[in-house]
Structure 1
Amino acid sequence: MNKQQYHPWLFKIALATTIATLPLMIVGGHVTTEGYGMAFPDWPTSDGENMLTYSWLHEASDKFYEHGHRLLGMLVGFLSIALVIIAFKVEEKKWIRNTCLLVLACVIVQGVLGGTRVTENSKALAMAHGIFGACVFTLMAFLTMVTGKRWIEISNDPPQLTPGYGRRLAITVPLVVLFQYFLGGCLRHFNVGLHPHMSFAFVALIFVIIEFRSARKSGIKWLKRPAMGMLHIGIFQILLGFAAWITKFGLPAAGFVATAGSWEQSLSRTAHLITGILFLMTTILYSARVFRLHQLNKNNVIDAGQNLSPTDTLPNAEGNA
């Protein structure tokens, strides 16, 4: 079995693509928060002009942020193309090359979704654009992780997991968080589902706490560290949710009156959105690590069986030779 090799430039371009997507999402989140999505009635042009030659730096806030969002999207597109080129030049693993192709395809689809949202003036497409964007960012982060040194080096001496450890949680938790993100999208774009979104946030946090306790009991640092990050992000996300609620509806008991369009409201809502994306990402990356260790343990058992000589025997159920 050919082992995966570390390719510095592939990892660097995967990391650059992921990092470049973060400001794209922040600006996109601000565009949605402020309702700037229809600043231009056309796409892929901006006010009928070429996107690259359009003079936007001195435009009003809506066109400034929306056009900036479009330009950042183009940057991520170019980086995704470079990612595919480098992958096919240096990487031997077919599944990694295919993942790079998938990233590029998803970036193209995401761009078309965003443009169609404008031409159709559709809130449903705006919501789909936001949810799919979170999934694309997570895919980029996954690619960055699997092309990194630690992912490759862990195969040399993988920690041992008990059979079946964490698999159900590794499937359930990302689905729970994704559903919570969907509820947030309904609230953000259609102003419905406030109470389900707020209530289910605690359900998602409970699942994350259970998964964190499971990771801590395993004693494996490669699992404990991302699980700790996942828990911290989950708690911070709930606090941001409260901040978004207070800045939108106020807190009469404390004498705080909400002001529509205030910078506090804009900041808290956009931060809540971005943290939600990071929350989803960390749950999926943790799950990928769990399944990675199970696969490595399984491969080691198979290799050990193949290396036995005809006179060797495996231990019986009582552990005796």
Structure 2
Amino acid sequence: MERGGSGDRATERGTRWAHRLAWVLWAVTFPLIWMGGFVTTYDAGMAVPDWPNTYGYNLFLYPIESWLKTWDIFLEHSHRLIASAAGFVSIALMVALWRTGSARFRRLGVVVFILVCMQGVIGGLRVLGQELLLANLHGCIAPLFFGLVTGVVVITGRAIVGSDQAIRYAQQSLFRSVAGWRFVLVATIYTQIVVGAQLRHLPPTLSPGWAFLWTIVHLIVAGLIGVFLGIVWWRECREHPSQLFWLKILSGIYAIQLTLGLFTWVVNYNFPIWFLDYFLAISYTVVKGGAAQALVTTAHTATGSLLLAAGVASWLTAAMNPGSQNLRMHQPA
């Protein structure tokens, strides 16, 4: 699209700034998910009993020596600081999207802002009310927000290199043909994340049967992700063999996630008896709260969000570029 007028140039500058800020927010949100995962793994969510302050101090004025002295407080306070950074960048992104003049971008910016505010308030209420339901909800919204930010990166990147025509086309084709199957894949990945959140926040008074049930559901949905990924591969290879970039990324992350899932079981519950009896006798002791348990479990959680982000990128690029070559996120200038 030719951009000859001063208004068009201003719009392009605004879109570029929005794209850069979307990348910054993406880069802040992923470590935030990691830190939130560590908080849950170490059960450190209640290490700081008040909110929005930290032990009576302003969040940004809490003494460094107190912050670094205790591991649980370090995790929870760091989580809050990174979340605050995500909030500030979200405000800047909303302003940048608003300045593009595009009604679609303005609505997108408002949604980003509302969702990050919701997440912050739910996290705070979880601390004040000590409600496990809020912890579940908090764990489900974080990947949703990460997926939304990924969508903003993809859409603003496309707006820079192309025109609004691609975005208008996307609105008509998001749920059709191959793009429609990719949406089903994204929805299934998110369902898997929600089920995983239930496993991570099981009430201690719940009977063991519920944990077993959620585990079975978790495994079934993981299998469905593989099925839908295979369907998309089959359709793409048949109809658009040049559009496989994001499918390769998705498949790689999916394989990593399955591997991490297996190791997550091992570091939390040890190797199954049948594996030790019939395959390989391995001597391993589960260490509650140990480094291996924390790192592997949190990596499994974070990789689930990364898989969702890759799914969103795959879905949107398929919708906006039905006949294009390699589909990649546009990198910031």
TM-score, normalising length from structure 2? 0.80
Q: How does 1:1-321 map to 2 (within 5 A)?
A: 6=12, 7-55=15-63, 56-89=66-99, 91-149=100-158, 152-153=161-162, 164-190=176-202, 192=211, 193-219=214-240, 221=242, 223-251=243-271, 252=276, 253-293=281-321
Tell me if the contact between 2:150 and 2:312 (Cα under 8 Å) persists in the aligned partners: no
Q: 1:29-82: per-residue Cα shift (whole Å, max 9, x none)?
A: 100111000001111111122111111432300001100100111111111111
CA distance in 1, matches of 2:96, 2:241: 33
**Aligned-CA RMSD value:** 2.7
Structure 2 partner of 1:302: none
By how many angstroms is 1:151 displaced?
7.0
Cα distance, 1:227 vs. partner? Answer: 1.2
**TM-aligned CA deviation for residue 195 of structure 1:** 2.5
1:249/1:257 contact within 8 Å kept? no
What displacement does 1:238 show? 0.6
Q: 2:19 touches 2:157 (CA, 8 Å); kept in 1?
A: yes
Partner of 2:328: none
SS of 2:54's equivalent in the other structure is coil
| Alpha-carbon contact 1:237-1:276 (below 8 Å) kept | yes
Moved more, 4-13 or 267-276: 4-13
Partner SS, residue 56 of structure 2: coil
Structure 1: unaligned runs, 5 residues or longer: 297-321
Equivalent AA in structure 1 for residue 87 of structure 2: G
User: Which consecutive unaligned segments of at least 5 residues does structure 2 have?
Assistant: 204-210, 325-333
Q: Number of residue pairs matched? A: 291
Cα distance in 1 for residues equivalent to 2:105 and 2:164: 16
In terms of Rg, which structure is larger? 1
- How far did 1:154 drift? 7.8
Cα distance in 1, alignment partners of residues 122 and 246 from structure 2:
32
Q: Which amino acid aligns with 1:58?
A: L
C-alpha distance in structure 1 between counterparts of 2:150 and 2:313, whole Å: 8
**Cα drift, residue 113 of structure 1:** 0.7
Q: Is the 8 A contact 2:18 2:97 kept in 1?
A: yes
Amino acid at match of 1:20: V
> What is the rounded CA distance, in whole Å, between the counterparts of 1:151 and 1:230 in structure 2?
25
Name the CA distance, whole Å, in 2 between partners of 1:270 and 1:218: 38
TM-aligned CA deviation for residue 17 of structure 1: 1.0
Tell me if the contact between 2:126 and 2:135 (Cα under 8 Å) persists in the aligned partners.
yes
Within 1, Cα distance between the matches of 2:53 and 2:231?
48
> CA separation in 1, counterparts of 2:53 and 2:241?
51
Query: In 2, are the aligned partners of 1:181 and 1:276 still within 8 Å (CA)?
Result: yes
* SS of equivalent to 1:148: helix
- CA deviation string 1:226-281 (max 9, x = no partner): 11111111111010000100111112532222221111111110000000011112
Q: Cα gap change, 1:176/1:88 in structure 2, threshold over 3 Å: closer, same or farther?
A: closer
Would the aligned equivalents of 2:41 and 2:298 in 1 still touch at CA under 8 Å? yes
Does the 8 A contact of 1:146 with 1:152 survive in 2? no
Cα 1:207–1:125, aligned 2, differ >3 Å: closer, same or farther? same
